[in-house]
């Protein structure tokens, strides 16, 4: 398995126009560089762990069972059907990316 170092990640941020990622390290570190980002949230809530800065768009469906992963359950969930992520469509992500590229 190939891993990306933090230094390599910062270089990639400098080369990319827009970052599309799930709620993870790359999304949290994106504000360290001038990169726009689209961050997909599912089992966690963007209300607590959303990105800082103006260059990010969050996509989150806020279905009744979400967030199922939290500090209250030690980040463990019994969920085996990630409907929260499945409801995020390619067209919606593309629209968010295009909006960032167009300056909207």
pLDDT tens digits, residue range 13-72?
A: 999 999 999 988 888 888 888 899 999 998 888 888 888 778 899 999 988 887 877 666
Q: What pLDDT, on the 0 to 100 scale, is given for residue 71?
A: 66
Contacts 24+ apart (CB under 8 A), 65-74: 66/42, 67/43, 68/43, 69/43, 69/44, 70/44, 70/45
pLDDT band per the 50, 70, 90 thresholds, residue 101: very high
Task: Say if pTM beats, i.e. exceeds, 0.95.
Answer: no
pLDDT tens digits, residue range 71-96?
A: 666 667 777 888 989 999 999 999 99
Q: What pLDDT, on the 0 to 100 scale, is given for residue 82?
A: 86
Residue 104 pLDDT more than 60?
Answer: no
């Amino acid at each position: 398995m190939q891993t990306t170092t933090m230094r390599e990640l910062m270089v990639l941020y400098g080369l990319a126009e827009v970052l599309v990622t799930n709620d993870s390290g790359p999304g949290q570190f994106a504000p360290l560089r001038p990169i726009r980002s689209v961050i997909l949230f599912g089992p966690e809530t963007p209300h607590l762990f959303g990105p800082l800065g103006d260059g990010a768009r969050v996509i989150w469906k806020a279905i009744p069972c979400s967030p199922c992963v939290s500090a209250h359950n030690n980040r463990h969930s019994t969920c085996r059907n990630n409907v929260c992520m499945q409801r995020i469509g390619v067209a919606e992500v593309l629209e968010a990316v295009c909006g960032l590229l167009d300056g909207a």
